[in-house]
Amino acid sequence: MYAELPCSDPDCRTVASVPSSLLPLRLRVVVQPAGVPLGDDAFTADFHPDLIGAVVVKGRQDEPLVLTRHLAATWQVPAERLWEDALVSLGIEPLDVQRFTLPDVPDRRTEAYSVTGVGWPGVAHMFRLEQALGWRLPLGALVMVTDANSFVALPLESNATLAGASALWDLNETLRRQRTEPLPPRMLWVRGWAVHDLGAGVVEGQFTAEVPRELRAALAQLN
């Protein structure tokens, strides 16, 4: 299914260095800041103005090799299936998951998680958060990408956990100060492949965010 490599493009030739029998197992997803050069025909998805996702191939030296759209088109595999296969294969990469109890959240003990890739960039695991954390998240999670390798997540279970958004922002700010190349803070609601920006920020010392109507509707069914 992934065996054809008829292209002479340099990126395609580089992918050809991976044995065709291993290609399905070497597919990965990476998330990069928008503007990172990936070539003119990379297999990407713009899911946020500041971030971009790409299907890549893990090379012989564990480096990410650009997968071009014109090469992927020769594999006769639907684009959705390639994303899914790449995300499944990403699951073999090790993670460092740390748990944090968020303060000042009413009526319950609310926990957030820091997820960091070990040896392979970890941000794309926000699209497989259920598997990374080990339980179902029908409402998804609030996610902040700390840097190109890590993010923090607050699993959403009710309006009470939504009240932890401000504390999640503060946690991300603390972790950003420990990173050499932190990304600008953006709070996202991630549910499967769907990404919504909450337009969060701190104005005159007060945390503010806009809750999407889709999230309000989902929470209303549980509370």
pLDDT reported for residue 105? 65
3-state secondary structure of 171: helix
C-alpha pair distances (Å), 173 with each of 8, 26, 119, 176: 45, 34, 24, 5
- Pick the more confident residue, 161 or 170: 170
pLDDT reported for residue 56? 93
Q: Is the pLDDT of residue 54 over 90?
A: yes
pLDDT in tens, 109-119: 688 999 999 98
Average pLDDT, the chain: 87
To 5 degrees, how large is the angle CA 167–CA 172–CA 173? Answer: 95
pLDDT-derived band of residue 73, with 50, 70 and 90 as boundaries?
confident
Residue 98: closest CA among 84, 111, 86: 111
pLDDT in tens, 122-137: 999 999 999 999 989 9
pLDDT reported for residue 108? 59
- Mention every residue, 6+ apart, whose C-beta is less than 8 A from residue 66: 11, 14, 15, 38, 39, 42, 54, 56
Could you tell me the pTM of the whole model? 0.89
Q: Is the pLDDT of residue 2 over 50?
A: no
pLDDT-derived band of residue 106, with 50, 70 and 90 as boundaries?
low
Q: Is the pLDDT of residue 90 over 90?
A: yes
| CA 105 – CA 33 distance, rounded (Å) | 31
Q: Which residue has the tokens 């509370």?
A: 223
Q: Is the pLDDT of residue 27 over 90?
A: yes
CB atoms within 10 A of CB 148: 20
pLDDT reported for residue 7? 64
Q: Is the pLDDT of residue 10 over 80?
A: no
pLDDT-derived band of residue 219, with 50, 70 and 90 as boundaries?
confident
DSSP run (H or E) holding 12: helix 10-15
Q: What is the percent of the chain where pLDDT is above 90?
A: 49
Q: Does the CA dihedral 121-86-95-118 come out positive or negative?
A: negative
What's the mean pLDDT in 71-99? 91
What's the mean pLDDT in 32-45? 87
Q: Is the pLDDT of residue 6 over 90?
A: no
| CA 25 – CA 69 distance, rounded (Å) | 18
pLDDT reported for residue 3? 46
